[in-house]
Amino acid sequence: MKNQITNAISDFFFEYETPRQVLVRNRRVGVVCRIIQLVVLAYIIGWVFIYEKGYQSTDIAVGSVFTKMKGVGYTSINGSERVWDVADYVFPSQGDASFVVMTNYIITEGQQMGKCPELHGKHNCSSNADCEGGSFKRTGHGQMTGECVDETKTCQVLAWCPVEDDLVIPDPPMLMSAENYTLFIKNSVTFPLFGVSRSNLVEGIDAGYIRKCLYHPENAPLCPIFRLGDIVKLSGFNFETIATVGGAIGVVVDWTCNFDVAVTHCKPKYTFHGLYGNPAETDKVRASVGYNFRYAQHYMEDRIPKRTLFKVFGIRFDIIVQSLARKFDIIPTLTAIGSGVGIFGVATVVCDLVLLYLLPKRAFYKNMKFKYTDTHAQTISLFN
């Protein structure tokens, strides 16, 4: 027993077992095997290493965005001239990554709380019975008093009077000059995994350059100052159309970087996308077209609280930062190589299936590949 245990331990530590291999000279099987191996090799080199860059680790940036608008607009309505600056047409005014530039508006001046007839089409009536006192309608401007105004044939409401009339949108837009406003984008990103920080004010973008540059996808692709008309055009929309009823445009700042080369090659790329609607759509009857909101300027007149109501149509800009950085790393490289070597086993499996089940001489190949033992004969030989 002691010798058996010693021999078993010796065999375990000092012997190496290797699978038995059979060399098969068969043209068809050999071609199938090589084709599969070439496909696997092309997948590993072409897809895993070259396209997917499986030899690199990846990181996503943490970033911040600051924006600043510049430009002056001018309107003249019934002889009343007005100049609009940044404080008037940008909402909000803090320089966020998401903001609205007013391009069109409807003003209702001198509103005060009181009772007045509703707008035609909101609460039409023929008698007081059609106006339920104390009730509201979702599309209305106030609370119904229960009276029907004979002059307008609409219900009387308790609201800010006179009620807003927004049925007719100014066309062309009131602030068509917004096409020439400029937007300055300042963006910084940090890739924590690689310890790299970058700004869109890259090498060569200094104060002198910024004062005179204007973004162009070919002539000035790194300039951080954009003309609004160019942004709308590059997103595929017509400026006058989108300025009339409003819309939304995304400015994408793309940081796709390869840190296997110099960090200075990591530079932003700007793209522009319409976030609402399709530039090819011309159907003006579809629901909820454009982008608009309301705000009011409150004041006192003869101790009576009043307000000026603005319905603002504008272009909403969303500055979207997307990033992906890569750098060589031995761990994903070894992982990719190991998975590739494992996939090579597919060729062996396929060729074994062909040999053992499809070829005319499959019985012969089975005898060559497998060694059979007769358990009953082995038992008799042990006892003899």
- Known binding positions for ATP: 68-70, 182, 292-294, 311
Considering only CA atoms, which of 336, 374, 378 is closest in space to residue 56?
336
Considering only CA atoms, which of 312, 245, 234 is closest in space to residue 274?
234
H-run or E-run covering 381: helix 375-383
E strand intervals along the chain: 56-59, 62-70, 73-77, 80-84, 90-91, 98-117, 143-149, 154-161, 182-191, 196-199, 225-227, 247-258, 269-274, 292-301, 304-328
CA 157 to chain centre: 45
What are the binding residues? 68-70, 182, 292-294, 311
3-state secondary structure of 184: strand
Which residues are CB-neighbours of 85 under 8 A, at least 6 positions away?
72, 73
Residues 155, 118: Cα–Cα separation, whole Å: 6
Residues 104, 313: Cα–Cα separation, whole Å: 5
Considering only CA atoms, which of 313, 237, 310, 223 is closest in space to residue 280?
237
Residues 184, 67: Cα–Cα separation, whole Å: 6
What angle is formed at CA 346 by the lines to CA 329 and CA 19, rounded to 5 degrees? 95
Considering only CA atoms, which of 337, 197, 184, 330 is closest in space to residue 257?
197
3-state helix, strand, coil in the chain (%, to 5): 30, 35, 35
Residues 7, 333: Cα–Cα separation, whole Å: 42
Which pairing describes strands 73-77 and 80-84: parallel, antiparallel, or unpaired?
A: antiparallel
Q: Could you tell me the two tokens for 298?
A: 């409150």
